[in-house]
Amino acid sequence: MIIRKIQIDNYLCYYDTNTFELSEGLNIILGENGEGKTKFFESVDWLFNGENRDLDMLVSAKKLEETEIGDSFRIRVSMSVEQYGEKSIITKSFLAKKGKANECSTSSFMIEGIKENSSGERTQVDGTLLLDRIFPFQIQKYSMFKGEAELNIFESDSALVNLINLFSEAKHYDKYSEKGAFLREKAEKAVEDSSKLDKKNEALYKKLEGEILFLKNEKAKYLVHLNSTEEEIRKIEGNLQLAESHVNNADALETLNKRIKEIEERISYLNGRIDENYTTSLFDENWILVNFESFHKEFAEKVSAHSKKSRELQSEFDKQKGIKEGEKKAKAELLNNAVPLPIGVPSKSHMEEMLNDEICKVCNREAEKGSEAYEFMMKRLKTYLESQVVEDNELEKDEPLFKFDYINRLENLSISHEDNLKNLRLIRTKIKELFEFNDDRKKDIEELNEQLEKEITERERILGNSSIVEEKLIDVLKNYNAWQRDLKNHNQFQLDYTTKLKNLETELLAKKEKKDEIDTNSANSFLIKTRNILRDIETIFKDTKENKFDEFIEKLQTKSNSFFKTINIDAFTGTIVFTRRNKVNSTIVEIELQEGGRTFYKPNQSLLTSQHISILFAISELASEIQEENFPMIFDAPTSSFGENKTAQFLNLINETENQKILLIKDFLQTDKGAKALSIKKEFENIRRDKAFWVKLERPFDPNNLKTINTQVITL
C-alpha cells in the first residue's frame, strides 16, 4: 500500500484545500511547533479512527469566520492510495452550517470509498470496509506514532505477543492447538470413566487424582513465586546499575563486583562442604563406639573366665557321670556280663525274709550274718530301697549340666566384636579428619570473609569517588549495599523455587505415570490408544506453535538489531534482546537493551528512541515479507531527543530502507534574529529524501485569534 495523496479541507488550521502529493519512499514534513505539523498527523488519525462526535471542535475557525450565517461548508480529509495495481480513495467528511457568529452545527457525517481500476473506471464502495481492507486496524497500530513516548508500543505484557500472533506462522496453529486440547481432554475423561468402573482401583484412582490436582496447584503457586522473584531481581539489578551510573570508574567497579560475586560463591560452596551433623554420625556412623575397645576387653575377659569355669564344671559333671557309668559296667562284669535281674526281683518281702532266715532261698544256700552271701542280699535290698526314693526325680537324671548354651553365644559375640575392632579403631581417625577438614574450611571461609570485606570497602571507596553530591552519595551507598544483599537473597530464592518446581514436576510426572498405569490395566484399550494419539497430536501442535513463535522472535530480534546498528552507526548501541517468559496462564515477550550480556538500565532517550524505531522498522519489514504487502509508517516528532546532527544521519540512513515513511520533524528550521523570519537551514539540502514539505502559518497572524490561523503547505 502506497499513500499517493493526502488532502485536508477546512480541518482546524488547514483552511480551505491543502494537498500533500507523497512519494513511495521517505517523505519529510518540516514544521515548527504550533504551525500545523501535529495537526497533519491528527487529521490522518481522524480519517482512520475518528468518530461522529465533537465534530464542531474540528472546524477551521478561519473558514467559519468567512462563511455567511446560514451557509454550509464541508470539512474533509481524503487519502488516495495504490495497492495491488488498483487505486482507491477514502474520504471522511461532515458538513458544518454556521448558525451565528463563532458557532456552527454539524451533519452529514460520512465515510466514502471509491475504487478505480486500471482503465480509470471508478466505483463507489463502502468506505469503512475499503479502509479496513487496504489498511487493517491491526497494522495501523504499528504504523502511526505521535511523539517519542508512543514509539514504545510494547509496554504491556500482551502487545508483542499479539503482534507475533498477528504476523508469525504460529497463529495458524492456534485453532489446531485448541481443538487438540479439547479432544485430548474428552479422551482423558473417557479413559478415567472407564477406569473408575473397576471398583478395586476406585479408591487409589481418586487418591491419585487428588494428589495430581494438589501438585498442579503447588506448581502454579511456585511458578507465581518464581516469576515475581525474577521480576524483583530485574528491578534490583536496574537499581544497582542506576547507582553505578554515578561512579566515575565503572570498569573498576564491574571488576570488583565480579570478584565479590566469586568470593561469595566460594564462601557458599565451602559452607556447603562443612559437615557438622555430628549427632547423625554419632549413631549412623557408630561414632558412639569410639571408646568401645576397653569395654570389649573387659567383656572378653569375663566371657573367657566364664567359659573356663563352665568347662571345669562340665568336666567334673562328665567325670561323675563316667564314674556312674563305670560302676554299672563293673557290676555287669561281676555277672560275667550276664544280664542282671531287674531291681525288685526278688521282692522286698522275699529279701527281708531271706535276710531274717539267713538263707538264700533262690539258690537254697545258707547266708549267715556277716557272710558274703548275706551282704550281697543286703546290698540288693538297699539298692531297691534307693531306687524307690529316686524314682520321683527320675527325669532329672538325664538333664545336661547347662540347659542353655549361653556361654557359646557370648563367645561368638566376643569373636564378632573382635572382628569389628579394626573398623572401630578407624573411627577416631575419621573423627579427627572430619574435624580437621571442617576447621580448614572455616579458616578458608574466614580468610575469604576478610578478603570480601576488603573488596566491599574498595567498592565503597570507588562509589565514594562519585559525581553526585555528598548527601545523595550516602543514600546511594546505603541503598547499594542493601540492594546487593537483596539481590543475593533473591538469587537464592530463584534457585530454591526453580529446584522446587523441578521436584514438583518430577513428582507430578510420577503420579501421572501411576495413574496411566491404572488406566492401562483397567480402562478400555481402544480408549487408551485414542487418548495417547490425541496427546501426541496436541503436543505436536503445541511444540510447532512454540517453535514458530521462537523463530519469529529470533527473526524480529535479528532485523531489529540490524536497523539499530544502522541508525546508531559509529555510536554505542548495545543489543536488543527479546525474551519469551511463561507466566501461569500466559506467555509474554519482554524487550530489553543489553550490554555485554547484562541488562542496560536507564539508557538515554535518544538510545531508547532509536531502539523503538528499529523494532518498528523490523516489524514493518517482516509484515511486508509475510503478507507480501508494504504499509506506510507515519511518525510525528520521533527524533526530538536526537539533536540535529544525529537526526540528519538518521534521516539519511532510513532513506535507504524500504517502505513508505512520512516523518514530521521540527529540525532544520531557523528564525532570523533581525527580520524574525522563519527559514530552512542549508544543512537540509544534504538530507537525502524522496519528497519534502514545509508547513507553516501564513503571516501575519494573531497568536490569540484562531480566525487568523491558516497553515500553508509548501512543497520543497
Query: Mean pLDDT across the stretch 311-317?
Result: 81
* 715, part of any domain: yes
Domain boundary at 406, 436, 457, which?
406
Q: Answer whether 206's CB lies under 8 Å from 549's CB.
A: no
Within a 10 A sphere around the Cβ of 151, how many other Cβ atoms? 20
Task: Report the length, in residues, of the chain.
Answer: 716
DSSP letter for 659, please.
S
- Residue with the bigger pLDDT between 453 and 178: it is 453
* 648, part of any domain: yes
* 655, part of any domain: yes
Query: Mean pLDDT across the stretch 18-36?
Result: 91
φ, ψ at 124 (rounded to 5°): -80, 130
DSSP letter for 466, please.
B
- Residue with the bigger pLDDT between 258 and 473: it is 258
Helix (H) or strand (E) holding 401: none
Amino acid sitting at position 285: E
Q: What are the distances in angstroms from CA 328 to CA 325, 332, 340, 399?
A: 5, 6, 11, 19
pLDDT of residue 359: 85
Helix axes 605-627, 644-654, angle to 10 degrees: 10
**What's the domain count of the chain?**
2
Domain boundary at 378, 406, 434, which?
406
Cβ-count burial 651-678 (b if 16+ within 10 Å, e if not): beebeebebbbbbbbbbbbeeeeeeeeb
pLDDT of residue 394: 44
Give tens-digit pLDDT for 347-379. 777 778 888 888 887 787 888 888 888 888 888
* 308, part of any domain: yes
pLDDT of residue 29: 93
pLDDT of residue 58: 93
Separation of alpha carbons 206 and 192, rounded Å: 10
* 603, part of any domain: no
CATH code of residue 119 = 3.40.50.300
Question: The domain containing residue 358 runs over which residues?
Answer: 295-406
Give tens-digit pLDDT for 638-679. 777 777 777 887 788 777 777 788 999 888 888 876 667 888
Proportion of the chain above pLDDT 90, given as a percent: 14
Query: Mean pLDDT across the stretch 425-445?
Result: 86
Could you give the 3-state DSSP secondary structure of residue 550?
helix
- Does the structure show a pLDDT above 70 at 284? yes
Give tens-digit pLDDT for 582-625. 665 667 777 888 877 777 766 777 777 778 778 877 877 776 66
pLDDT of residue 125: 92
- Does the structure show a pLDDT above 60 at 172? no
Query: Mean pLDDT across the stretch 425-444?
Result: 85
Within a 10 A sphere around the Cβ of 200, how many other Cβ atoms? 8
pLDDT of residue 324: 75
Q: Which residues pair with 471 in a beta bridge?
A: none
* 384, part of any domain: yes
Q: Which three cell numbers stand for residue 118?
A: 486500471
Cβ-count burial 402-414 (b if 16+ within 10 Å, e if not): eeeeebeebbeeb
Give tens-digit pLDDT for 103-118. 899 999 999 999 988 7
**What is the 3 state secondary structure string of 228-285?**
HHHHHHHHHHHHHHHHHCCECCHHHHHHHHHHHHHHHHHHHHHHHHCCCCHHHHHHHC
Helix segments in 105-173, DSSP class H:
127-134, 137-140, 159-167
* 642, part of any domain: yes
Place of cell 542506576: 242
Strands 633-636 and 661-665: parallel
Strands 122-126 and 144-146: unpaired
Separation of alpha carbons 651 and 668, rounded Å: 12
- Average pLDDT of the chain to the nearest whole number: 80
* 247, part of any domain: no
Separation of alpha carbons 469 and 485, rounded Å: 24
Domain boundary at 375, 406, 437, which?
406
pLDDT of residue 395: 42
